[in-house]
Chain A
Amino acid sequence: DTAVSQTPKYLVTQMGNDKSIKCEQNLGHDTMYWYKQDSKKFLKIMFSYNNKELIINETVPNRFSPKSPDKAHLNLHINSLELGDSAVYFCASSFPPGRVTGELFFGEGSRLTVL
């Protein structure tokens, strides 16, 4: 199936731990994103990569480190997890907005709970 897929779907961990979320898209898109959705449902952009190059980095603590090994993959690693990191993290992909505007496709989300 063509889609944006991310793993794991659920993640429960203790404060101070390090965790990773993986994302893959097979839609042929050039641009991938990480969004954070908090308990109030706000969708806030964290990072955007275009063809493996970081183009958007929104005042996110440097405990969060994205990595894009190729344009179909964008992973998110989080160090020293804090309670406030609990949220649903959505990966998304699209053609580059502004040049070829088009639909933003979201993954199913990864619900992170930090205890």
Chain B
Amino acid sequence: GENVEQHPSTLSVQEGDSAVIKCTYSDSASNYFPWYKQELGKRPQLIIDIRSNVGEKKDQRIAVTLNKTAKHFSLHITETQPEDSAVYFCAATTRGTTSGTYKYIFGTGTRLKVLA
């Protein structure tokens, strides 16, 4: 079935360094790719998203790139800060079993630790 693979599962970086998290998806019909940040004990919250007609999007220290041919998309965080420490999830919309429906499928998450 459809799935979203995410790597790495854990990532430790020094404050100020960059962090990169990578995801691959299987459904060629996927057309929307959000990234969520979940702090300890809190709900997942959207930090950036990209649609399939765009190759790259940037918002301050966060950027996302999409390679539709390879079915890869990545999250890049530059100048990391301790408050970036959290679990990050990628997601992709993929077709549901009922015709015309879609659903969000999440990657397995990356626990990012930014060391001060």
Contacts and interface: CB of A to CB of B under 8 A. Distances in A.
Interface stretch (B14-22, B61-69, B91-99): B91-99
A101 interface: yes
A12 interface: no
Contacts of B44: 43, 90, 106
Contacts of A48: 96, 101, 103
B115 interface: no
A55 interface: yes
A45 B43 contact: no
Contacts of B89: 43
A88 to B, nearest CB: 9
Interface residues of B, number: 30
Interface string A71-107: 0000000000000000000100010111101011011
Contacts of B32: 97-98, 101
Contacts, number: 70
Interface string A42-79: 11110010100001100000000000000000000000
B45 interface: yes
Given A45-B103, A98-B93, A103 B46 contact: yes
A56 B93 contact: no
Interface residues of A, number: 25
29 contacts: A35-B106, A41-B38, A42-B109, A43-B106, A43-B109, A45-B104, A45-B106, A48-B96, A55-B98, A55-B101, A56-B101, A90-B44, A96-B102, A97-B32, A97-B104, A98-B93, A98-B100, A98-B101, A99-B102, A101-B32, A101-B51, A101-B93, A103-B34, A103-B46, A104-B36, A104-B46, A104-B91, A106-B43, A108-B42
